[in-house]
């Protein structure tokens, strides 16, 4: 059993603590605003007076606060105590923020592991919880078994920014899916069809379309978008134009799909209409050397 400090008792920090307690670990908690640990203390957690006290009482520290500005200020306040210890930061942020915090922690002679939680608080410890990690391999290896208790632990590499990069990329995919759902549902809603009545058709269609992704991934990796094209960009641009015309006719706002049509037209208008729509990726990817 591990001896863990939890810094931050928001909705997520409380869920992490509850899970560690349930698994029989020793947990010392600290939160900026006192009192939030009461129910956890009742279940066996110890409450420290400062972040430094919690860190000092434990073998490993798991931090989960609002943002990296909070993270860095807590690290600076507890700096001397962190020396020689491992800090696992599950706060959500950008790759650049994770890398900057990793550098800060390195100056304190401590081990830094960054994490991205792909779960809501009630999911922690459940079969669908996933947490992405990157940074110190030594810290991950030393605590992997404990971390697995929170959810599947996926280590992505020594670059501390990789967990955040993958976290934000996965969320981007989710928001794209939600955008398609909202637009499609607004179209049928314009004729009084309820979202719940349309859901099965839409879900089956979206599930079938997931099968296209492997082919797009191959084309993106090879940079060759003109091979094995069944539904080319020119045809799909005309189809997207129809969707946006119908959108206007039905009195639905086109905000979610207009940017996609702009990209389709730009790529097709540059002579790539015979290729696959995966070619649109070339318009948004980071350009080499930048
Ligand atoms: N909730 C989710 O569904 C979810 C899912 C995945 C990832 N996350 C990530 O997990 C992190 C925590 O989320 P949460 O849901 O626990 O948020 P939350 O309920 O809003 O709690 C925020 C926590 O951050 C602390 N905090 C804020 N500013 C601080 C500062 N300057 N110094 C010290 N502590 C500070 C708060 O302390 P006080 O109590 O003193 O205000 C509180 O403990 C976020 O980065 C979030 O993006 C959340």
pLDDT tens per residue across span 11-33:
999 999 999 999 999 999 999 99
Judge whether residue 167 has pLDDT over 80: yes
The pLDDT of 278-287, averaged and rounded, is 96
Judge whether residue 266 has pLDDT over 80: yes
11 lines ligand 1 (CB under 6 A): yes
123 lines ligand 1 (CB under 6 A): no
Q: Do domains 3-158 and 190-284 have the same CATH topology?
A: no
* Domain definitions of the chain by residue range: 3-158, 190-284
What is each CA distance from 31 to 13, 45, 72, 134, in whole angstroms?
A: 9, 13, 15, 25
Token pair 């797009």: residue: 216
Judge whether residue 289 has pLDDT over 90: no
Phi/psi at 101 (nearest 5 deg)?
A: -70, -35
Q: Give the CATH number of domain 3-158.
A: 3.40.50.720
**Residue-level pLDDT at 228:** 84
Residue 82: partners with Cβ closer than 8 Å, 6 or more residues away:
55, 61, 75, 105, 108, 110
**Residue-level pLDDT at 78:** 96
pLDDT tens track for 168-223: 999 999 999 999 999 999 999 999 999 999 999 999 999 999 999 999 999 999 99
Distance 13 CA to ligand 1 centre (A): 7
pLDDT tens track for 69-92: 999 999 999 999 999 999 999 999
CA nearest ligand 1 atom 24, residue:
65
Among the atoms of ligand 1, which is closest to the Cα of residue 32? 40
Among the atoms of ligand 1, which is closest to the Cα of residue 14? 16
Confidence band for 290, pLDDT divided at 50, 70 and 90:
low
Average pLDDT, the chain: 97
Angstrom distance (rounded) from CA 80 to CA 167: 31
> For a pLDDT cut of 70, what percent of the chain falls above it?
99
Judge whether residue 148 has pLDDT over 70: yes
35 lines ligand 1 (CB under 6 A): no
Reported as type and span, the H/E element at residue 208 is: helix 195-209
Terminal CA-CA length for the chain: 47
- Of 25 and 229, the structure prediction assigns the larger pLDDT to 25
Q: Give the CATH number of domain 190-284.
A: 1.10.1040.10
Among the atoms of ligand 1, which is closest to the Cα of residue 92? 45
């Amino acid at each position: 059993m591990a001896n863990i400090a939890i810094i931050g008792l928001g909705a997520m920090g409380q869920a992490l603590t509850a899970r560690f307690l349930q698994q029989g670990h020793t947990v010392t908690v600290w939160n900026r605003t006192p009192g939030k640990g009461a129910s956890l203390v009742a279940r066996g957690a110890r409450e420290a007076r400062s972040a430094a006290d919690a860190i000092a009482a434990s073998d490993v520290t798991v931090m989960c606060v609002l943002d990296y500005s909070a993270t860095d200020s807590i690290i600076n306040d507890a700096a001397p105590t962190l020396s020689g210890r491992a800090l696992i930061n599950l706060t959500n942020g950008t790759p650049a923020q994770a890398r900057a915090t990793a550098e800060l922690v390195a100056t304190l002679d401590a081990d830094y592991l960054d994490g991205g939680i792909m779960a809501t608080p009630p999911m922690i410890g459940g079969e669908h919880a996933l947490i992405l990690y990157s940074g110190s391999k030594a810290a991950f290896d030393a605590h992997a078994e404990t971390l697995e208790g929170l959810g599947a632990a996926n280590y992505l590499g020594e670059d501390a920014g990789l967990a955040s990069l993958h976290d934000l990329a996965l969320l981007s995919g989710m928001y794209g899916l939600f955008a398609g759902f909202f637009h499609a549902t607004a179209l049928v809603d314009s004729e009084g069809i309820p979202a719940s009545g349309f859901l099965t058709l839409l879900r089956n269609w979206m599930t079938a379309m997931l099968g296209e992704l492997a082919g797009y991934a191959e084309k993106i990796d090879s940079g060759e978008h003109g091979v094995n094209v069944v539904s080319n960009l020119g045809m799909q641009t005309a189809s997207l134009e129809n969707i946006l015309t119908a959108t206007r006719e039905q009195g639905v706002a086109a905000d979610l799909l207009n940017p996609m049509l702009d990209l389709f037209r730009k790529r097709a208008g540059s002579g790539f209409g015979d290729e696959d729509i995966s070619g649109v990726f070339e318009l948004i990817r980071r350009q080499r050397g930048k």
